[in-house]
Amino acid sequence: MRIGPCCIGRRLDGRSRMSGDVHVRICEHVGVRFPRVTRLVICCRYARDAERIRKALGQRLAKYHLALNEEKTRLVSFARPNGGERKRRAVFDFLGFTFYWGRSRRGHLIPKVKTSGKRLRAALKRVQLWAQAMRSRERLLTLWRIFCAKVRGHLRYYGVSFNQRALSAFVYYATRIMYKWLNRRWLRRLSHLYIVRVA
């Protein structure tokens, strides 16, 4: 669904829409899909402010018979580490990214993001299962085009600043996995031809 001033005067699919008084066009027919619930991050300087906002947000949602998902709602300390601290720096995961404190090229402490290790391993596992299942079902060119589309999708989602190392690792290992299963495909065919000739 397109939202914004660029959609003024346009219908989403040629069917009915809301009046022209608002700039956001919403399709009214049955089967319309609305965006998923927004995942919100609120940054506070003091812990007491974060507690107060969380309590107020819960009360506000309860007014409309809604509730926060307690399993996915939490307070995380992400304070800038002091120069002399030897403690483990603050780290947390959100939407497949790991947020952590790192050094800039000039040596300043700045917040950085990278692909979560759990998500990276899961993505490589999916590539392996897909390559193993599809290696003999499609032509080589078709398989390679699908594989490249999968890699592009991963890079477009996780392609953010400071994440080059994780992206390079994904491309490297995913390509190795693909070559591994394609080589098994050709070895299987060669062994099959050998058996036929012997018989």
- Complete edge-to-edge strand list for the sheet that includes strand 97-103: 91-94, 97-103, 109-115
When pLDDT is cut at 50, 70 and 90, the band that residue 22 belongs to is: very low
| pLDDT score at 119 | 94
Residue 94: predicted pLDDT = 84
The answer to whether residue 19 scores a pLDDT higher than 50 is no
Q: What is the pLDDT of residue 166?
A: 94
pTM: 0.64
Q: Which of 129-143, 162-176, 180-194 has the lowest mean pLDDT?
A: 180-194
pLDDT digits over 24-80, tens only?
Answer: 444 444 555 545 555 677 788 888 898 898 888 888 888 888 888 888 788 888 877
pLDDT at 6 over 70: no
pLDDT in tens, 76-123: 888 777 765 555 667 888 888 998 888 888 888 888 999 999 999 999
Q: What integer pLDDT is reported at residue 30 of this predicted model?
A: 52
Which position has the token pair 């926060």?
A: 68
Q: Is the pLDDT of residue 152 over 80?
A: yes
β 97-103/91-94 pair status? antiparallel
Evaluate if residue 3 carries a pLDDT over 80: no
CB-count exposure of residue 10 (10 Å: 0-12, 13-18, 19+): exposed
Terminal Cα-to-Cα distance of the chain (whole angstroms): 61
CB 76 within 8 Å of CB 92: yes
* Residue-range domain boundaries for the chain: 1-35, 44-75, 117-198
Which pLDDT value is given to residue 76? 82
Check residue 4 and give its pLDDT. 43
Instruction: Please give the structure tokens belonging to residue 119.
Output: 């998500």
Query: In the predicted model, what is the mean pLDDT of residues 128-134?
Result: 91
Statement: residue 21 has pLDDT above 50: no
Answer yes or no: is pLDDT of 168 > 90: yes
